[in-house]
Amino acid sequence: MNTVAVDFDMELIARVEQFYYREARLLDERCLQQWLTIVDESIEYSMPTRFVPQPDPKLQDTEAFLSVERELDRADGPKGSPIRHDTFLGIFARTFRPYKTNGWSEAPAPRTRRMISNVEVTPLENDEYRAYSNFMMFYSHLGKDNHTITGGRRDVLKAVDGSFKLLKREVIIDMDIITVPTLALIF
């Protein structure tokens, strides 16, 4: 068995987990304006399309053969058709839409519940951290079918004033076929 020795900073991991738990609570309680305060204005928020690639015989017997990276279609990729690719302006518009009387697709507001787990944190430079986490989100709207969405998040966080700001988020959903009525949610 091949293992890699890793130094764990349990205090850092606990701080990042608390940041994520607070973020989930703010979103589930529909405190979208408060949530925006933990988002950096340089944010890149993306959700690549996920597809089933053809097997590459050259990669056989390697981890690259099964790599999730081969399943992702990003804005900078060959097809360039992500489900979402937002900057702060797009996120700002998305979070303020439910407060408008003409935001009919958000009225009444959907019920959500986010569970965050499997948090990993790696220090980068300049008080920035790469953080990985898994999520499970319950979604219910207009008395119709309930949905559960699962996936992973790849974030870059910046330490600011004893907490963090979200600089970058890539959401990788697990669905092969999209069966939920919207992916315009914040994961």
Determine, yes or no, domain membership for 161. yes
CATH code assigned at 80? 3.10.450.50
pLDDT at 185: 86
Determine, yes or no, domain membership for 76. yes
Determine, yes or no, domain membership for 3. no
pLDDT at 112: 93
Determine, yes or no, domain membership for 180. no
Model's pTM, two decimal places?
A: 0.86
Q: Per residue in 101-139, pLDDT tens?
A: 776 666 788 899 999 999 999 999 999 999 999 999 999
Rg (CA), the chain: 18
Determine, yes or no, domain membership for 186. no
Determine, yes or no, domain membership for 1. no
Number of separate domains in the chain? 1
Average pLDDT over residues 62-88: 76
Compute the mean pLDDT over every residue in the chain, rounded to the nearest whole number: 87
Q: State how far the Cα of 104 lies from the Cα of 113, in Å rounded to an integer.
A: 21
Q: DSSP secondary structure string, 19-51?
A: HHHHHHHHHHTT-HHHHHTTEEEEEEEEE-EE-
Average pLDDT over residues 73-98: 79
Using DSSP's 3-state secondary structure scheme, residue 181 falls into coil
> 39: pLDDT confidence band, cut at 50, 70 and 90?
very high
Determine, yes or no, domain membership for 5. no
Determine, yes or no, domain membership for 64. yes
What are the C-alpha distances in Å from 176 to residues 17, 39, 51, 118, 135?
28, 29, 7, 22, 16
The whole domain housing 158 covers 10-52+59-173
Q: Which of 23-32, 47-56, 69-78, 144-153 has the highest mean pLDDT?
A: 23-32
> 1: pLDDT confidence band, cut at 50, 70 and 90?
very low
**Do the strands 111-123 and 49-50 form a parallel or antiparallel pair, or are they unpaired?**
unpaired
